[in-house]
Amino acid sequence: MKKSLKARIVDGLLIAMMVLPLTLALLLKILTRVPAEGISVTGAQVFFTVPMPFMDMHIGESQVNSLAVLITLFGFCLFMTRDLKVKPTSKRQVIAEWIVETVQNLVNTNMGERFAAFAPFITAILGLSALSSLSSMLGLFPPTSDVNVTFGWAILVFGLITYYKLKGGFGNYVKGYFEPLFILAPLNVIGEIATPISMAFRHFGNVLSGVVISTLLASGLQVASSAIIGWLPGFLGEFPLLRFGVPAVFSIYFDIFSGCMQAFIFAMLTMLNIANNFPEEEYEKRLQRKREKALRKA
């Protein structure tokens, strides 16, 4: 069945919505990049600073690329879920349903049926983290190699962990810090604070190490190429022989496998920390007491 002109135009606009943000981010980097000699491994470039009362807000590659990734993912979601049918008639709907079912099964397996509604949130984490890391393959600064970005995600997850801990009652939440012994309270507090810190630094450290190693590898291959064919005259001696093909092999691990794996690990830690810290028994007791109280009033 042929698509109508309107459907093709909408599809074209959604594809542009997926492609343009990252393209513009790459163009911005090219236009604002400061040339550097030799190996250069630096943090995100800052484009401008917004004065704030307590601390200035810096807008740089991390923020711009994060926004580009978000817009790209939003366009992808709109594209994949447009014109859905009860019975799938297009490959995109089949793929979209497979993604939904896969993540839903992952959430149900690791968090239980009670947290089934977390599937969209976990899907967002997986997509945002993976695409942020994979953006390095386009030559962009990956937002996940900025600890401020991953720490922001970790704080959001920590807020959810604390929210579900409080479902068992504030008294039960405070009591948990003094178990199994009263004197262990300081260690329990440190352990609580360490949760978002460990999640943020694990993700940030693994992605950043891949960027550093890839940069050193590219520089080393350039030197090796010069040593092998540098004696040739003219442009032949400057040809980056070893930088063709060899970096792509290492990119399979440092960019693709490692980036996707860190997204999966962050999502798994999110699910397990929320589900395992939820005081289900205390929560059920609270619900029972509320029901009994409501019955007595009735």
pLDDT per position as a tens digit, 68-98: 999 999 999 999 998 888 888 788 899 999 9
Q: The domain containing residue 136 runs over which residues?
A: 102-297
CA distance 31 to 10: 31
Q: Residues 123, 266: one domain? A: yes
Q: Residues 12, 149: one domain? A: no
Residue 59 forms beta bridges with which residues?
48
Q: Residues 149, 276: one domain? A: yes
Q: Residues 55, 146: one domain? A: no
Q: Is residue 38 part of a domain?
A: no
Q: Residues 285, 137: one domain? A: yes
Q: Residues 17, 161: one domain? A: no
Render pLDDT for 131-168 as a digit per residue (tens, 0 to 9): 998 888 887 888 998 888 999 999 999 999 999 999 88
The pTM assigned to this predicted structure is: 0.84
* Domain tally, the chain: 2
Q: What is the pLDDT of residue 264?
A: 93
Q: Residues 110, 64: one domain? A: no
Q: What is the pLDDT of residue 155?
A: 94
Among 83, 110, 141, the domain boundary falls at 83
Q: Residues 273, 180: one domain? A: yes
Q: Residues 206, 59: one domain? A: no
Q: Is residue 65 part of a domain?
A: yes
Q: Residues 250, 106: one domain? A: yes
The answer to whether residue 182 scores a pLDDT higher than 70 is yes
Q: Is residue 90 part of a domain?
A: no
Q: Is residue 91 part of a domain?
A: no
Q: Residues 270, 177: one domain? A: yes
Q: Residues 67, 110: one domain? A: no
Mean pLDDT for the chain overall: 84
| Per-residue exposure over 190-226, b if at least 16 CB sit within 10 Å of its own CB, e if not | eebeebbeebbbbbbebbbebbeebeebbeebbebbb
Q: Is residue 41 part of a domain?
A: no
Tokens of 95: 């793929």
Render pLDDT for 199-250 as a digit per residue (tens, 0 to 9): 998 888 888 777 777 777 767 767 676 767 666 666 555 655 555 556 656 6
Q: Tokens 């994949």: give the residue.
A: 80
Nearest to 262 by CA among 206, 200, 195, 198: 206
Cα-flanking dihedrals φ and ψ of residue 34, to 5°?
-95, 125
